[in-house]
Structure 1
Amino acid sequence: MRIAFMGTPDFAVPTLDALHEAGHDIAAVYTQPPRRAGRGKAVQPSPVQKRAQALGLEVRSPLTLRDADEQAAFAALGLDVAVVAAYGLILPAPVLEAPRLGCLNVHGSLLPRWRGAAPVQRAILAGDRETGVGIMQMEKGLDTGPVRLEGRVRVDSKTAGALTAELAELGAKLMVKVLAHPDSYAPIPQPEDGITYAAKIEKAEARIDFTLDADGVERQVRAFNPMPGAFFEFGGERIQILAAAIDDGAGQPGTVIDDALLIACDTGAIQPLMVRRAGRGAMATSDLLRGFPIPKGSVLA
C-alpha cells in the first residue's frame, strides 16, 4: 500500500519499522518539528524523524495541518492510507478524508477507556489490571472512531516506560495485520459506556502524594517512570523515586519511619529502591543515603 506515516515519539518507531519491513510504499513521514531538549537545550529531531532519515524516507514537519497548502500537499501523495501513532497534531477533515482507506491510529488503550493523550500513565494510576492497544479508524472526535483490531496485555508491576514499549511493539504487529487484509477487519463502533479520558500528564502531578495509600503511591512511581519522574523534596533538593516496594509500616503520611528511607503513607508505607538526585544518575537508595542522609523522623514534601 501507499502510506503516509505520522508519528513523533519512541512509541511510534516500531510501527514505522514494521511498515517498512512489510514492504509498504511509505510516501512521506510526518512528524513534529525538531525541539530543544537535553541539558544543553540543543535542537533535537524526534525519534521518528531520526528513524525515517536512517531508512531514507522523506520527512515532513509542518507546524500545522490546517493550512490549505499543507492539505493539498498531503492529498497530492495519492495515498491508500495514513498510519498515525502519537503524532501530536490534530488531523482536520481534509486530511482524514484524503487517503482511500482513511487514517488508522495506533492507540495505547482498550477504547473507549482512556481516550486522550496519556492512556498508559492513566491506566497505571487507576490501578487497571489490563490494558492494550487498538487500531482505530480515525474520525473528527477525540479517539472516538471505530476499532478494527485490538490486543490486550497485563499491567502487572510494569512502569509506564516498559508498558509503553510493550504496547508499541504489539500495535506495530496489529497494524501490519490490518493493512495486509483490511477487508477482514471491519471497523466496530466503540461502546457507549465505559468512556474515560486520559488527560495529558502535568509535571505538578509527579510530586508524590503520601496521603494516598501505599498502593497508590507505588502506582505514581511506576506511572511517572521514566517521565516526568515521581518525586519528593527534602533539604531543598528534589529526589525522584524510580522504583519502590510496598511495606506495612505505619506513621504520619510523608514521615520517614526508619533509617532506610521507609516512608509512611495514608495506609502502609513505601520503600524506595532506586532513586535519582537532580543532575545525577539512578542509584540504589542505600547509595543515596550515604551521601545525602534523610534521617528517621524527617517529613517529606
Structure 2
Amino acid sequence: MRIAFMGTPPFAVPTLAALHAAGHEIVAVYTQPPRPAQRGKKVQQSAVHHWAEEHGLPVHTPKSLKSPEEQEAFAALDLDVAVVAAYGLILPEAILDAPREGCLNVHGSILPRWRGAAPVQRAILSGDGETGVTVMQMDAGLDTGAMRLVGRTGVDDKTAGELTDELAAMGAALMVRTLSDLHAFLPEAQPDEGVTYAAKIDKSEARLDFLVSAVQVERQVRAFNPMPGAFFELDGERYKLLAAEVIHPAGTVPGAAPGTTLDDSLTIACNPGAIRATRVQRAGKPAMDAADLLRGRAIPQGTRLA
C-alpha cells in the first residue's frame, strides 16, 4: 500500500520498521521537528526521524498541519492510508480525509479505557491488571474512532518502559496484520461505557507521596520509570527511586510517620504499609542497587524523606 507514516518517539519506531519490512511503499514520514534535548540542550531529531533517514525515507517536520499549504501537500501524496503512532500533532479533518482508507492509529490501551496522552503510565498507576493496543480508525475526536484490532497483555509488575516496549512491538504486528486485509478487520464502534482519560504526566506527579499506601507508591515507582523518574529528596538532594518492593502492603507500622526510614536498608513507611528501595539513582550519578548506594551514603533508621 501507498502509506504516509506519522510518529515521533521510540514507541512509534517498531511500527514504521514493520511497515517497511512488509514491503509497503512509504512515500513520506511525518515527525515532530528537531528540538533541544537533555542537559546540553543540543537539538536532536526524534527517534522516528533518525530511523527514517537511516533507511532513506523522505522526512517532513511541520510544526503544524493546519495550513492550506501543508494540507494540499499531504493530499498530493495520493495515499492509500496514513499510519499514526504517537505523532504528537492534531490532525485536521482535511488530513484525516485525504487518504483513500483514512488514517489508522496505534494506541497504547484497550479503548475506550485510557484515551489520551499517557495510557501506559495511567494503567500502571490505577492498578489495571490488563492493558494492550488498539488499532483505531481515526476521527476528529480524542481517541474516539472505531476499532479494527485489539491486542492484550498483563500489566503485572512491569515498568512503564518495559510495558511501552512490549506494546510498541504488539502494535507494529497488529498494524501490519490490519493492513494485510482492511476488509477483514472492519471498524467497530467503541463501547459507550468504560471511557477514561489518560492525562499527560506532569513532572510534579513524580515526587513520591508516602502518605498513600505502599502498593500505590510502588505503582508510582514503576509508572515513572524511566521518565520522569519517581523521586524523594534528602538533605536537598534528589534521589530517583527506580525499583522498590512492597514489604508491608496493608499494616500500619507502629510509631513510624509516613516517609520515615524503618531500618538502615532504605525501608520506608507509607500510609499504610512500607516499601523497600531496591534500585536508586542520585542526581548526576549512575543507577545502582540500593545496597551499593547505602555503602557509600548511609541513610539510617529514622531518617525523614521529603
TM-score with structure 2 setting the length: 0.97
CA deviation after TM superposition for structure 1 residue 38, in Å: 2.1
Q: Which amino acid aligns with 1:86?
A: A
State the distance in 1 between where 2:62 and 2:11 align: 20
Give the 3-state SS of the residue equivalent to 2:183 in structure 1: helix
State the distance in 1 between where 2:202 and 2:33 align: 22
- Structure 1 residue aligned with 2:112: 112
State the distance in 2 between where 1:280 and 1:215 align: 27
CA deviation after TM superposition for structure 1 residue 298, in Å: 1.1
Give the 3-state SS of the residue equivalent to 1:183 in structure 2: coil
Q: Are positions 1:257 and 2:241 aligned together?
A: no
Superposed counterparts of 1:89-168, under 5 Å: 89-168=89-168
Aligned residues: 301
CA deviation after TM superposition for structure 1 residue 68, in Å: 0.8
Q: Which amino acid aligns with 2:183?
A: D
CA deviation after TM superposition for structure 1 residue 291, in Å: 2.3
Gaps of 5+ in 1: none
State the distance in 1 between where 2:93 and 2:279 align: 47
Instruction: State the Cα deviation string for residues 168-213 of structure 1 (Å, max 9, x = none).
Output: 0000000000001000001000000100000000000000011111
- Structure 1 residue aligned with 2:226: 226
State the distance in 2 between where 1:293 and 1:28 align: 55
State the distance in 1 between where 2:55 and 2:15 align: 13
Q: Which amino acid aligns with 1:173?
A: A
Q: Which amino acid aligns with 2:304?
A: V
- Structure 1 residue aligned with 2:273: 268
Superposed counterparts of 1:76-95, under 5 Å: 76-95=76-95
Gaps of 5+ in 2: none
Q: Are positions 1:277 and 2:292 aligned together?
A: no
State the distance in 2 between where 1:9 and 1:278 align: 25
State the distance in 2 between where 1:114 and 1:39 align: 31
- Structure 1 residue aligned with 2:8: 8
Give the 3-state SS of the residue equivalent to 1:286 in structure 2: helix
Superposed counterparts of 1:243-254, under 5 Å: 243-248=243-248, 250=253, 251-254=256-259
CA deviation after TM superposition for structure 1 residue 39, in Å: 2.4
- Structure 1 residue aligned with 2:214: 214
- Structure 2 residue aligned with 1:299: 304
CA deviation after TM superposition for structure 1 residue 141, in Å: 0.4
- Structure 1 residue aligned with 2:241: 241
- Structure 2 residue aligned with 1:182: 182
- Structure 2 residue aligned with 1:75: 75
State the distance in 2 between where 1:272 and 1:256 align: 10
Q: Which amino acid aligns with 2:179?
A: L
Q: Which amino acid aligns with 2:263?
A: D
Q: Which amino acid aligns with 1:36?
A: P
State the distance in 2 between where 1:257 and 1:35 align: 44
State the distance in 2 between where 1:52 and 1:180 align: 22
CA deviation after TM superposition for structure 1 residue 107, in Å: 0.1
State the distance in 2 between where 1:41 and 1:281 align: 20
State the distance in 2 between where 1:91 and 1:283 align: 42
Give the 3-state SS of the residue equivalent to 2:78 in structure 1: coil
Q: Are positions 1:19 and 2:24 aligned together?
A: no
Give the 3-state SS of the residue equivalent to 1:143 in structure 2: coil
Q: Which amino acid aligns with 2:153?
A: V
